[in-house]
Amino acid sequence: MDPAVGSRLLVGKHGATIRYVGPVEGQDGVWVGLEWDDPTRGKHDGRHSGTRYFSCLRHTHSATTAGSFVRLPKLIATADLGQSLETAIQSRYKINTDEHNNIKDDPEVDSEAYVPTASNRRVQIRLVGAAAMAALVSQDGALEHASFIDQRISNLALTTQMGIPFLRNIATLDLSNNLIGNWLAVAELLQLFPKLHTLNLSGNLLDIDSPNRISSKSDDDDNDDDASNNSVQLPSLKTLVLNNCGIRWSQVVFSLSRYLPHLTALHLCRNNITKLEMPSEVLDGKNNASTEEVHVLLARKFPKLETLDLEDNLLSEWNEIAEQVHALPRLKTLLLSGNFLKTISYPCTRSDSTVGIDNKISSTLFVENNHHADGGGGKNGNQTGEACGGFRSLEHLMVGSNQLHGWNVADELDKFPSLTDVRISNNPLTNTAAKNTSRPSEAESTPAGVAFPVRYELIARVSKLHMLNGSDIRAGERQDAELAYLRLITDEVAEAKAIQTQGGTAEEHKAAAAAAAVIERHPKLSSLVAKYGELTASGPSSSQGTTLSSSMVELVFILGAKQVKKKVPTTLTIGRLKPLLERVLRIKLGHQCISLVDTLDGSKSEDVTSQDGKELGFYGVANGWSVEVGKRDVAAAVAAKGAMVAEQERRMEEHERGLQRLRAEEERLMVG
């Protein structure tokens, strides 16, 4: 059988898609036009001697050379056209064609297979043998999980009834890294999978109908068109994985969505998506579709979508993403790591979305008679996402490995009404701050030498977070972070106001403006003051740094020969220090015996192990102090406690005997 247009094939290890089969003017025989996955292997864009025979659909730039012609006989002789799914089923699972529901044991079946990881590496797995596979087969003899990874499958048609009983109970199907090139063929095949809820097609370069082929209709007509003309639907499919499939966002919205009425998770990693394009000419026939129409359309197309994965693409515009996805009513997880985003903002739809501070707090931290935005969703700020731009259900946002910079990113994250989990590592914001240099994007307005743990500042600025960069945020850590951050702001305001070195109105105005600028950079100030009360500034700073040095100290944790340096706030209590020591030094809380040592004079404090409520600052700790941890002899401690209890009991008994003798003497005297 001659290869068909749209089919995928391999020439050696190089993939290609057939775009044309037929004659070429001036040449004998039948020719096949190929579009190579690697455009450097081609010679032209589908034209020969001025005549266009096909277009390169994946490499659309004008200078592309992804196309080439090959004689049909040569192609058949040298290319790998793949195998059918039917053959793969029989080979992979050894189905007995005489008894369709049985799986036969074959000792020669290769028990090794590979799965692609998130970083596109191949990890070897061991498949279950035919004997053990019986445990995976449901009572009526059909598997619930089927995997055909790297099986060179190019033809999905089932020419016999052989595979149908085998397919009827499959719930998860993995067809990744094959030669599947047509989405419609996939959709038609999946009609045989009434219980399928998870499908992985990663690594298959799919041809999907362009949105330009979809006729323009009104909203009502479009719904009717979906129902009447799209007879192929996959109502049971909940999770679709299309990583590295070469598809565009418009194809997802205007083509795939018609097949997926109940989709809850969509994975589109590594598709080189540069923007979430929504061509206006296909939006109900209108040339100028508004942003509101766009996001209403998307919410209608994917009303049940909870997870959208766009990691490792080429996205750079957050506003474009937010405009389209913020109205998805059930979106809980948005994965955008590995892109090129420079900022994040909460999409507001009204100019007065941030409300000024209504009450004037009588504090020297604030500039009298000035009102500043609390945009962090604090006590007087905007508290409902619906008042601004949606994202009502978003709980998890992954934006690691982007180009995010500036603390305004954290302030914007605080506006998301339901956000509890953020991954933001490996960004300029976090990387620069982690080097203990001036805080990023604010070096020009922040005192030189400020070093503050980026994790603490993120926790303090984003008040609803329960998890940051994959690590839980416990109540004690949040309190420590917020208090340390409040101390930072307090000292920054005090230092800003210290520019008033001479009396007079002009200097007062300068001090007020400087303090106002600090407060504007820290919109969480009002809510933190409401929560913890006002703090007193630590005092004037020196030219070598800022007063922050009095709230953050670098200590050396010592256990035997092991030494670890850690920066901690002076507000950290001994009780909160113990879990940190357990994690860093691997010594259980019950075995810790803690002493603080001043390295300047070597003096040792009393044992602070039992002083859980006291802060490190109570003992006057400073940079370079040591926290020496000894291992308590638990058995000896128990014995000592037992001896102490016994001694107390002995004294009580002796005291009781003394009272009895005294009462006896009183009675004797009264009788006498």
Phi, psi angles (nearest 5°) of residue 579: -60, -35
More confident residue, 469 or 285: 469
CB atoms within 10 A of CB 101: 13
- What secondary structure does DSSP assign to 281-346, as a single string? GGSTT-SS--HHHHHHHHHHH-TT--EEE-TTS----HHHHHHHHTT-TT--EEE-TTS-------
What's 8-78's CATH class? mainly beta
CATH topology for 551-632?
Ubiquitin-like (UB roll) (3.10.20)
Mean pLDDT along residues 238-248: 94
Task: Determine the pLDDT at residue 268.
Answer: 97
Residue 136 token pair: 């995976």
- 81-90, 310-319, 321-330, 375-384: range with lowest mean pLDDT: 375-384
Write out pLDDT tens, residues 501-515.
445 566 667 777 877
Task: Determine the pLDDT at residue 400.
Answer: 96
Task: Determine the pLDDT at residue 96.
Answer: 55
Cα distance between residue 322 and residue 387, in whole Å = 15
Alpha carbon 71 to chain centroid, angstroms:
48
Is the distance from CB of 327 to CB of 296 less than 8 angstroms?
A: yes
Is the distance from CB of 285 to CB of 217 less than 8 angstroms?
A: yes
CB atoms within 10 A of CB 272: 12
**Secondary structure (3-state) at 253:** helix
Write out pLDDT tens, residues 590-636.
788 999 988 776 666 667 888 887 888 888 888 888 999 988 765 66
Task: Determine the pLDDT at residue 372.
Answer: 37
Task: Determine the pLDDT at residue 3.
Answer: 82
- Ranked by mean pLDDT, which of 149-153, 346-350, 619-623 comes out on top? 149-153
Cα distance between residue 95 and residue 75, in whole Å = 32
Cα distance between residue 344 and residue 406, in whole Å = 10
Write out pLDDT tens, residues 568-594.
888 788 888 888 898 889 888 778 899
Query: Torsion angle of alpha carbons 506, 508, 511, 517, nearest 10°?
Result: -80
Mean pLDDT along residues 333-339: 97
More confident residue, 374 or 160: 160
- Ranked by mean pLDDT, which of 28-37, 54-63, 123-132 comes out on top? 28-37
Cα distance between residue 437 and residue 448, in whole Å = 8
More confident residue, 106 or 76: 76
Cα angle: 101, vertex 105, 110; to 5 degrees = 115
Is the distance from CB of 35 to CB of 66 less than 8 angstroms?
A: yes
pLDDT surpassing 70 at residue 435: no
* 122 DSSP β-pair partners: 116
Task: Determine the pLDDT at residue 510.
Answer: 73
Model confidence band, residue 211 (pLDDT cutoffs 50, 70, 90): very low
Cα distance between residue 121 and residue 243, in whole Å = 13
What is the pTM (predicted TM-score) of this model? 0.70
Is 3.80.10.10 the CATH number for 237-446+465-470? yes
Give the residue extent of every domain in the chain: 8-78, 91-200, 237-446+465-470, 551-632, 636-672
pLDDT surpassing 60 at residue 292: no
Mean pLDDT along residues 473-489: 88
Mean pLDDT along residues 442-447: 36
Mean pLDDT along residues 233-250: 92
Task: Determine the pLDDT at residue 232.
Answer: 73
